[in-house]
């Protein structure tokens, strides 16, 4: 393992628009590389430019907190800070990977975000996050926090193969219970589901049940991507060793798409199965409105709800007009409430979308959305 201490020029990564999966406008990576070494990790793909041997070598942004403090200084900012959760984690390195014990960059970042009264969304696979339950409770009380864990399933054996450096699923579930007891919202990112291995009805249902039993507030679901190059090669090497009989099936569904996606027919049937299973558990399939009420700008609330609707309607196997409208609204400079007579001049907004936007502007939500989200 090679640990390289580096000086970062910037820390906050601004999204082009609100990210409706995480409800964030900004994200950050405090580490580049991750010793959790998940076999499917897309941080391994060449496009992310992580140097060294992925899974062993890690670059640590040792000046991260000083840089972040400068970036959050309102006197230095030309454009106003956008409202929403700050996502800490994901990307090319888990913020609670073992090195965090020594460097404490995530802890110090949380202390700064608490001082600045900013809402925080953590995404991790590590139980080390429990160390910061005190500061996350304070953030939750002052400005809201969400702690999300990612799982490919809650099956211990499979996790040992594909997530060799990560604490077992049962320990992650136990930590969720502890955060819930402190009144902190928790999510499960059931992502990525591993084709032909964790995508069976039994494993998916057991994972959803386990999540329900510890009281998660939402489950966000997604299939696996394998980009040609290092990521795909590494995954196939493991597959060949552990599940040789599945290699041919993988070759059938991963045919070298630019983004590493499997064929649409596979994702389609996977999402259908997930949707059918979720209906009986009534767990939201996106972050529910009570977790972002009062946190986002008026336009961003509309964008989030329309993007959630787009996903939920497609999950029902129907065509959706909402994605295009959401994108157009995300590009507007003016608040929607100043455009109420002219909403249909926005690209992608027809009469049914207009009605939903007006309902959101008036009530902060949409009945149709609630029905699909919890149904």
CB of 4 to ligand SF4, least distance (A): 17
Query: What tokens does 24 get?
Result: 């964030």
**Which of 34, 135 has the CB closer to ligand SF4?**
34
CB of 115 to ligand SF4, least distance (A): 27
According to DSSP, residue 106 is labeled H
**Which of 132, 300 has the CB closer to ligand SF4?**
132
**Which of 43, 119 has the CB closer to ligand SF4?**
43
**Which of 93, 187 has the CB closer to ligand SF4?**
93
Question: Using an 8 Å Cβ cutoff, are 339 and 361 in contact?
Answer: no
CB of 322 to ligand SF4, least distance (A): 30
**Which of 151, 369 has the CB closer to ligand SF4?**
151
Within 10 angstroms of residue 120's Cβ, the number of other Cβ atoms is: 23
CB of 310 to ligand SF4, least distance (A): 26
Burial class from Cβ neighbours inside 10 Å (0-12, 13-18, 19+) for residue 112 reads middle
Burial class from Cβ neighbours inside 10 Å (0-12, 13-18, 19+) for residue 166 reads buried
**Which residues in this chain contact ligand SF4 in the complex, by CB under 6 A?**
34, 36-38, 41, 43, 93-94, 125
Phi, psi of 141 (to 5 degrees): -75, -35
**Which of 152, 217 has the CB closer to ligand SF4?**
152
**Which of 152, 330 has the CB closer to ligand SF4?**
152
CB of 23 to ligand SF4, least distance (A): 20
Query: What tokens does 312 get?
Result: 């939920």
CB of 177 to ligand SF4, least distance (A): 21
> Beta strand pairing status for 3-6 and 31-32?
unpaired
Nearest CA among 143, 137, 269, 152 for reference residue 221: 152
Residue 110 to residue 116: CA distance in whole angstroms: 10
Residue 136 to residue 182: CA distance in whole angstroms: 9
Question: Using an 8 Å Cβ cutoff, are 62 and 4 in contact?
Answer: no
CB of 125 to ligand SF4, least distance (A): 4
């Amino acid at each position: 393992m090679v640990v390289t201490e580096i000086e970062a020029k910037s820390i906050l990564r601004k999204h082009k628009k609100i990210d409706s999966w995480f409800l964030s406008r900004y994200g950050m990576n405090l580490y580049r590389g991750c010793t959790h070494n998940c076999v499917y990790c897309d941080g391994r793909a060449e496009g992310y430019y992580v140097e060294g041997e992925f899974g062993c070598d890690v670059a640590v942004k040792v000046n991260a907190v000083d840089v972040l403090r400068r970036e959050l200084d309102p006197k230095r900012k030309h454009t106003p800070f956008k409202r929403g959760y700050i996502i800490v984690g994901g990307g090319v390195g888990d913020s609670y990977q073992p090195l965090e014990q020594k460097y404490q960059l995530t802890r110090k970042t949380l202390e700064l975000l608490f001082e600045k009264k900013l809402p925080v969304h953590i995404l991790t696979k590590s139980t080390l996050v429990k160390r910061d339950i005190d500061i996350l409770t304070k953030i939750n009380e002052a400005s809201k926090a969400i702690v999300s864990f990612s799982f490919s399933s809650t099956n211990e054996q499979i996790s040992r193969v594909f997530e060799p450096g990560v604490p077992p699923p049962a320990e992650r579930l136990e930590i969720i219970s502890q955060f819930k007891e402190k009144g902190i919202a928790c999510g499960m990112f059931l992502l990525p589901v591993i084709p032909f291995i964790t995508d069976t009805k039994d494993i998916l249902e057991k994972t959803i049940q386990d999540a329900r039993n510890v009281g998660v507030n939402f489950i966000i679901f997604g299939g696996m991507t394998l980009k040609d190059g290092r990521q795909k090669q590494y995954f196939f090497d493991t597959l060949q060793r552990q599940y040789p009989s599945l290699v041919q099936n993988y070759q059938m569904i991963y045919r070298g798409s630019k983004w590493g996606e499997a064929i649409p027919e596979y994702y389609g049937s996977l999402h259908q199965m997930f949707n059918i299973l979720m209906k009986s558990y009534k767990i939201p399939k996106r972050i529910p409105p009570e977790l972002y009420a009062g946190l986002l700008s008026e336009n961003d609330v509309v964008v989030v709800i329309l993007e959630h609707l787009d996903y939920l309607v497609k999950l029902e196997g129907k065509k959706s007009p909402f994605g295009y409208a959401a994108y157009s609204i995300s590009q507007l400079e003016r608040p929607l409430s100043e455009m109420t007579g002219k909403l249909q001049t926005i690209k992608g907004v027809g009469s049914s979308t207009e009605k939903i936007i007006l309902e959101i502007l008036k009530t902060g939500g949409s009945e149709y959305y609630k029905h699909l989200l919890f149904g």
